[in-house]
Amino acid sequence: MDISKRVLDLAVQIQQIPAPTFSEDQRAQFVKGMFEKEDLQEIRVDEVNNVYALLPGEGSGRPLIVSAHLDTVFPIETELSIEYKKDRIIGPGIGDNSLGVATLLGLVWSLREIGVTLLGDLWLVANVCEEGLGNLQGMRAVVDHFDADVQAYLIIEGLSLGYIQHKALGVHRLRITSKTMGGHSWSDFGSPSALHEISKLVTKLTALPLSKDPRTTMNVGKMAGGTSINAIASEAWLELDLRSESPQELTDLVQSVEQLIEAASKPKVRMEAEVIGNRPAGELPESHPLVDLAKDCLTELGIDPKVMIGSTDANLALNRGIPALVLGVTNGGGAHTTAEFVYIEPVKQGIQQLTQFVSRVWR
């Protein structure tokens, strides 16, 4: 069977196993079983549910770590039905990142098929907690384990074939909570409402000036509070996502937000902030040999390479000054929706690109 077909079939099997962030254990065990079927070495699941396997090299080069995240953005109850079209496969999480995880096995099949001699050990890692509030818990464990004594970290994403992500987008996330005494909407009218106070804060937050170059963004993604229509809310909260291409711009924005939160506290109103996510920024220079290699592998397949910035599993390594980049397997659309899809035909090129990159990375 064609390797790209095997990878797509495996991607569908993986997609059918629910894996919300913090609940990846069933999918992790499935991948562990697949690693065992391939007779890989040193297979293990660590304390946070990352799955490791070793394909030994024959040279003295430092190890290459190839990783793809197991988790999805979809709740456990999400219907995971798959639909096949002539040119695509549709289903929640099929591209992000079931296909990426399946390609870990596809790399093994492809490298063995061409009989390449690896000049260093190849570690395959299916990592957890990349999405949502996972805060890269899985990759923190991976990078802490291998540290900087590696050839590089290669992150595989199911989507975005043709793009080389060599810059890490800084992300800072806060949960902001407003607390008051609350009360009855009629008899206690005039007492501060936690919902009213946090809404005032949102107005002030969204009035902050944001840089367009370097691009900097702010998003109130979730907000809730109160107990009844006729009760003055005693508690309300929101979750805030801050991002910037510039570490300094992000630091300045975080400081401005913290000042507004502090100013929003007053008699009978307490405003609190908790950090719920922090993805540090970093960068592999575009002139780095690894970026050149990734460009060459794409160009040789007739694909015009494009460099980009992203918030991915590579952030931690890049922030620590360790070479890392992200490559895709195919193209598609609808990421993070139940209508997510991947194109079938480009998967073959995506696997060829990754195989060439891995086989040449020590040279």
Neighbouring-strand partners of residue 164: 307, 327
- pLDDT, residue 59, reads 84
Structure tokens at 297: 């592998």
Between these two residues, 88 and 281, which has the higher pLDDT value?
Answer: 88
Buried b (16+ CB within 10 A) or exposed e, 72-86: bbbeeeeebeeeeee
Q: Give the 3-state secondary structure of residue 272.
A: strand
Task: Evaluate if residue 363 carries a pLDDT over 90.
Answer: no
Domains of the chain in sequence order = 3-169+281-360 (3.40.630.10), 170-279 (3.30.70.360)
pTM over 0.75: yes
One-letter-per-residue 3-state SS of 108-170 = HHHHHHHCCCCCEEEEEEEECCCCHHHCCHHHHHHHHHHCCCCCEEEEEECCCCCEEEEEECE
Residues 224-245 have a mean pLDDT of 97
For the chain, counts of helices (H) and of strands (E):
9, 19
Residues 310-322 have a mean pLDDT of 94
Percent of the chain as helix, strand, coil, to the nearest 5: 35, 30, 35
Q: Which of 179, 200, 180, 197 is nearest to 188 (CA)?
A: 180
What proportion of the chain, given as a percentage, has pLDDT over 90? 97
Per-residue confidence band for 78, with pLDDT thresholds at 50, 70 and 90: very high
In the sheet that holds 83-84, the strands lie side by side as 83-84, 88-90, 341-343, 332-333
Q: Each residue of 81-105: pLDDT tens digit?
A: 999 999 999 999 999 999 999 999 9
- pLDDT, residue 47, reads 97
Instruction: Work out whether strand 231-232 and strand 163-168 pair parallel, antiparallel, or are unpaired.
Output: unpaired
Phi/psi of residue 98, nearest 5 degrees:
-60, -40
Task: Evaluate if residue 179 carries a pLDDT over 90.
Answer: yes
Instruction: Work out whether strand 152-157 and strand 324-328 pair parallel, antiparallel, or are unpaired.
Output: parallel
Q: Each residue of 118-129: pLDDT tens digit?
A: 999 999 999 999
99-114 helix and 347-360 helix, angle to the nearest 10 degrees: 60
Neighbouring-strand partners of residue 61: 120
Per-residue confidence band for 203, with pLDDT thresholds at 50, 70 and 90: very high
Task: Evaluate if residue 152 carries a pLDDT over 80.
Answer: yes
